[in-house]
Chains A and B, each alone.
Chain A
Amino acid sequence: MGLTAEQANKAPRFRRGWWASSIRFFGLFVLAFLVFAILLLAFGKNPIKAYIDIFSSTLGSTYGFSEILVKMIPLTLTAVAVAVPSRIWLINVGGEGQLYIGALFATWGALTLNSLPPWILLPLISVFGFLGGGLWASISGILRAKGWVSETISTLLLNYVAILLVNFFVFGPWKDPESANYPQTAEFVDAATLPAIGGTRVHMGFIFVLAALTLFYFVLSRTRWGLEMRAIGGNPEAARRSGIPISAYITLLMFIGGGLAGLAGMIEVSAIQGRLRPSLSPGYGFIGFLISWMAGGNPLGIVAAAFLLAVVTAGGDILQMAHGLPGSAVNILNALILFVVLSRQGGKVGVK
């Protein structure tokens, strides 16, 4: 496919003088928000009121802020799901599908093993979620490792298959007979529900995020595996000749990435929805891809970008409810932010 040419466009790291560049960066974000404001104006909405609503409802109250944290949990996980394979220039655009399959596996566990106590059941369905997303992504990993299909195309196409598969189960065999025409599974038992932390909406899924970020950072910078991944990313041919098993790394990193996205799916069904529904995710997998790109794979950058996009995503709900805009209109703002980031990154690499 020639897609390895992406190697030319290295993700930027924070260099010296990053204060100055982050101020310019901030200016570009303002530009993105400005363009969206003009668009809102063109559609007869009051952009100032819309932005005030977005920010006051998200950052202006404890409840709103905890909502942001709740949204950051799946977003960070799906972003790390993209960042892990991207260390060896694999492009995982299948986070959405992996999230759905993770939720599917976890739901199976939660519905069939519902007599187990929580301290067994919760870890078990977490493992199921990870396995589900991981195995799903491994399909793309194996196809790529064999040199048959580019992982970009296969992960993209498998998103649709995954969502349809969840629909199949939710409308068909797993449909809760008690919820009439509403397509959803039966509610999870308490033992399969991730508990909330101290009366807020923020739940224990938070711990998965911290663990994922820490491990991601630690493995990359402190272990032999991280070194080998850098070697593959830097010069695959040299890495192959020095005996690094590239095919195994491709499959394994896709598995881990997919597993993290699957974990996000498990968290959504267990902690937020309490059951499996077709409308499981408002595009967390795709937004995770954008976050990972904005952050250039940097763990702290991922947290910062996830925060920003969580505010935007939560803002999308506000725009839909209070301003009568279609729910996906907020994708424009996501795209505008990414446009400015991309135009900045590309130019910078070219100058180097």
Chain B
Amino acid sequence: MIGSSLQGLLSGSIIAGTPLLYATLGEVIGERAGIINLGLEGVMLMGAVVGFSTTVKTGNPALGVFAAALAGALFNMIFGFLVIERRANQLASGLALMFCGVGLSALLGAPYIGSQIKGLNEIRPPILSDLPVAGPILFHYDILVYLVLPIAILVWWALFYTRWGLSLRAVGEKPTAAFAAGKHPYRLQYQALFIAGLLGGIAGAHLSLAVAKTWAEWMTAGRGFVAVALVIFSKWHPLRAIAGALLFGGAIALQLQMQARGVPVSPFLLDMLPYLLSLGVLAVWGGARRHAAPASLGQVFRGTE
């Protein structure tokens, strides 16, 4: 009994943590380039709705994931134009993007409310998935869950062990110095936001294609903001984000488990868990991590006078 609920909790954390991790990785890349994007919520919604509608129309969830990633990236370019080209305030632009995403996804998704899809197939690798305990916990997921760890490692490698990553981080720390060293701050920031959009779109697609398998208005329910909090929690580091996403996914899974088991606590109070956990963890970790933030986060390169 306890074993099975623990097992359910662990696999629930992995499933709920996956979209969070995709979104967080995207936000890490953007913030490493000095851009904080509160519009992630909108990007995820666009990914969720485009992924879902593509899947309904074509019956091919893989195509849905690609469409979602592309939609997320293109949608994020609106934000890029505002904060990079027009040097607009990043926080306000992010919120505007969120609004746009909420509205546009509602408009696009209206015909698909109630549509049924099979969603992403569960892939059970032979032998591994038959292992006694590890099998059900680790090896009965859709492709996006298996891919998220390699992608996290790839992001880590790209940010810290490639010339591109070094330039990107230099832009996030001190764009004028990066510019003087022959880098292109604007181009790098656009690239960062494009990739962030791809990952945000995939995050949304995982919600609508693998977790919920339906479309509902504002189905991300603040997960985009939780991901922004997760970036701080993980000190802008892609590998620490894995642990963070699992922890926060765990909060979501715990709440679902308690509801499923009929624990006599109002579902509304349980639903608060992920948000309160985000706040609590940020508060406790508070002072120590302040210096980990990219130095120019929130500022925009204005060229050199």
- Does chain A have a CB within 8 A of B82? yes
Whether A335 contacts B82 by the Cβ 8 Å rule is: no
A339's nearest neighbour on chain B, judged by CB, is B96
Q: How distant is the Cα of A168 from the Cα of B221 in the complex, in angstroms?
A: 17
Whether B103 contacts A157 by the Cβ 8 Å rule is: no
Interface size on B, residues (CB 8 A): 58
Query: Chain A's interface: helix, strand, loop or mixed, by majority?
Result: helix
Query: Which of B50-58, B65-73, B187-195, B276-284 faces chain A?
Result: B276-284
- The interface bits of chain B over 94-108 (1 if a CB of A lies within 8 angstroms of the residue's CB, else 0) are 011101101110110
Interface size class on chain A is 35 or more
Whether A168 contacts B268 by the Cβ 8 Å rule is: yes
Count: A-B pairs, CB below 8 Å: 178
Whether B103 contacts A334 by the Cβ 8 Å rule is: yes
- The interface bits of chain A over 310-352 (1 if a CB of B lies within 8 angstroms of the residue's CB, else 0) are 0000000000000001111111111110110011111101100
- Does chain B have a CB within 8 A of A214? no
Q: Which of B81-115 contact A (CB under 8 A)?
A: 81-83, 85-89, 91-93, 95-97, 99-100, 102-104, 106-107, 109-110
Q: How far is the CB of A311 from chain B (nearest CB, A)?
A: 16
- Does chain B have a CB within 8 A of A156? yes
Q: How far is the CB of B137 from chain A (nearest CB, A)?
A: 29
A147's nearest neighbour on chain B, judged by CB, is B287
Q: How distant is the Cα of A149 from the Cα of B91 in the complex, in angstroms?
A: 16
Q: List 25 A-B contacts (CB under 8 A).
A: A2-B296, A6-B89, A6-B91, A91-B91, A93-B38, A147-B290, A149-B282, A149-B283, A154-B282, A156-B38, A157-B278, A164-B271, A171-B266, A172-B268, A328-B217, A329-B104, A331-B102, A331-B103, A332-B100, A339-B93, A339-B96, A342-B88, A343-B81, A343-B85, A343-B86
User: Nearest 6 CB-CB pairs, A to B?
Assistant: A331-B103, A148-B286, A346-B88, A335-B100, A332-B103, A342-B88
Residues of B within 8 A of A (CB): 36, 38, 78, 81-83, 85-89, 91-93, 95-97, 99-100, 102-104, 106-107, 109-110, 217-218, 221-222, 225-226, 228-229, 232, 266, 268-269, 271-272, 275-276, 278-279, 282-283, 286-287, 290, 293-300, 302
